[in-house]
Structure 1
Amino acid sequence: MFERLKKALTGAAPADTTHSRGDAVSEWAGMQGFAYTGSGDGKGFALQGQVSGRPWKLERGAASRQYIRGEEIRARAELKVNEDVSVLIMNRPMKDVLEKRAYAMYTDTLQTTADPNLPEEMRWLAMYAEVGWSSLPDPFWARYAVMADQREHALAWIDPNLASLMLAWPEPAPQAEVPFILMLMRGKLYLRMQYTPADMPTLEHAATVFTSACEAAIAGLSTDIPL
């Protein structure tokens, strides 16, 4: 009775959009055959699935990198492909920002020790050379940079289908400046991106990009020997 009186005096309570978003993600995950786990705060969640028998996990949560604002989508898959392969795909505006930051750090005569808060992505930029090839469209190279230990490894992984998906974000699409990383290293695949815009189309497409990247890596870099 007291709850009904409260509603009558104050008006209907606003819709719980956080809960409705969680329901939408859970329903979509079920349709895709993914396991869904919500977090206690009602905002974050985790999805789990398999691609070609290899397990993967995708999470939404608070950003764990300084260059990401708000929330991020991060994913990891145990692909068991060639562990010697190291390939990094990064959106080009983010690469430019990190390179400028690294340059400023190294030219600062007052800085005598390395900043422990520097993201490991800056070390990757120093370790791996940027590579490219003509079979992928110019818009891909305008938006993304590819760094690799060997150019052949990048060629074996990034096929035209994956490149096309990385350009086909649904509207309202993430802008080219939104931080995005796909990294293949030590037989594992990682995704990290700023969750902007934070909507279902962006989440669904991020999951499609990640699982397609898994499939492409397995197809091009698997060490399995057919029986």
Structure 2
Amino acid sequence: MFERLKKVFGSDKPDAGDSAASDEAVSEWAGTRGFSFTGMGKGKGFALKGSVGNKPWKMERSSPSRDYIHGEELRARGEIKVNDDVTVLVMNRALKDALEKKAYQAYTDTLQTTADHNMPEEVRWLAMYPEVGWESLPKPFWQRYAVMADHRSHALAWLDPHLVELMMSWPEPSPDAQVPFILMVLRGKAYLRMQYTPADMPTLEHAALIFTTACESAIAGLSNDITL
């Protein structure tokens, strides 16, 4: 009976440090990948730097910069210098629905006479760029993610099968479909923003893999010298 009670009240759970992404664990992992690591102090996050095709990128773990992200945030930017005119935005569908609902409520609020300056920039992107799709990607992808783009051909050129597979194969315990996630190409750069849940090494490693793969795919498919 005592063993059963221990399980009920969580006494048998492993220590958080067994899977949590401590600065020491991240620094050691980053070294094996050729990334640089900069700690910001215990509990304050860190920064990773690397390069893809000789183009620099940076990923940070920090407090959230958007109100739809709870806990900690992972955000990354890649200076990949692809076509400035290309805009492709991938967002998990639950976040898209929530932002659209928030925007609609703000628009229809009769007491609100001025624009809501707290509305995240992502809401404007949703209004500017239509959702696109194509049949070659599996239905579960479209159930989890929405893709918005200035041109459908740009989305097709960027979201190759390998990148899509990575976005659908998070390691367990994986971020579920409700966890805010955004991956995009905008103004010649690649960006990632997501809620860091669960905040463990497998999630961090996979997020970094998705982002660097997204940079590689964008360089290959969306460079200025490629005509779509």
Pairwise same-fold verdict (TM > 0.5): yes
Computed over aligned residues only, the root mean square deviation of the Cα atoms, in angstroms, reads: 1.8
Code of the aligned partner of 1:91: N
Q: Which runs of 5+ in 2 are unaligned?
A: 1-14
Answer whether contact 1:77 1:214 (CA < 8 A) is retained: yes
How far is the alpha carbon of 1:40 from its aligned partner?
A: 2.3
Instruction: Write the distance in 2 (CA, Å) between the matches of 1:67 and 1:99.
Output: 12
Q: Does the residue aligned with 1:79 lie in a helix, a strand or coil?
A: coil
* Helix, strand or coil at the partner of 1:36: strand
Correspondence list, 1:143-222, <5 A: 143-222=144-223
> 1:63 deviation in Å?
0.4
Aligned residues: 211
Query: Is 1:98–2:108 an aligned residue pair?
Result: no
Given that 2:21 and 2:199 are in contact with CA atoms closer than 8 Å, whether structure 1 keeps it comes out as no
Opposite residue 75 of structure 2, the aligned amino acid is R
Does the CA-based 8 Å contact 1:58-1:75 persist in structure 2?
yes
Q: Deviations over 1:155-188 (max 9, x none)?
A: 1101111111000000000010000001111100
* Matched residue type, 2:150: D
**AA of the residue aligned to 1:93:** A
Residue 59 (structure 1) aligns with: 60
Gaps of 5+ in 1: 1-14
Give the CA deviation at 1:16: 10
Q: CA deviation at 1:27?
A: 0.5
Which stretch shifts more, 103-112 or 55-64?
Answer: 103-112
Q: Which residue of 1 aligns with 2:110?
A: 109
Q: Which residue of 1 aligns with 2:132?
A: 131
Q: Which amino acid aligns with 1:129?
A: P
| Pair 1:179–1:190, CA change in 2 (3 A) | same
Cα distance in structure 2, aligned partners of 1:224 and 1:55: 20
For 2:163 and 2:110, how far apart are their aligned partners in 1?
Answer: 43
2:7 is matched with: none
Equivalent position of 1:88 in the other structure: 89
> Secondary structure at 1:178's aligned position in 2?
coil
Separation of aligned partners in 1, 2:58 and 2:101 = 32
Give the whole-Å Cα distance in 2 for the aligned partners of 1:16 and 1:127.
42
Q: 2:21 touches 2:201 (CA, 8 Å); kept in 1?
A: no
TM-score (norm 2): 0.89
SS in 1 for 2:31: helix
Deviation at 1:108, TM superposition (A): 1.3
Deviation at 1:42, TM superposition (A): 4.4
Query: In the alignment, residue 48 of structure 1 is paired with which amino acid?
Result: K
1:29-48 deviation digits (Å, cap 9, x = unpaired): 00000001111234401000
C-alpha spacing 1:219/1:61, structure 2 compared with 1 (3 Å): same
Give 4+ residue runs of structure 1 displaced > 2 Å after superposition: 15-20, 40-43
User: Cα deviations across residues 121-169 of structure 1 (Å, max 9, x unaligned)?
Assistant: 1111100000000111111100000000111111110111111100000
The range that moved more, 145-154 or 15-24, is: 15-24
- Once the two structures are superposed, the pairs formed by residues 44-55 of structure 1 within 5 Å of their partners are 44-55=45-56
Q: Deviations over 1:15-73 (max 9, x none)?
A: 99599811110000000000011112344010000001100000000001000001000
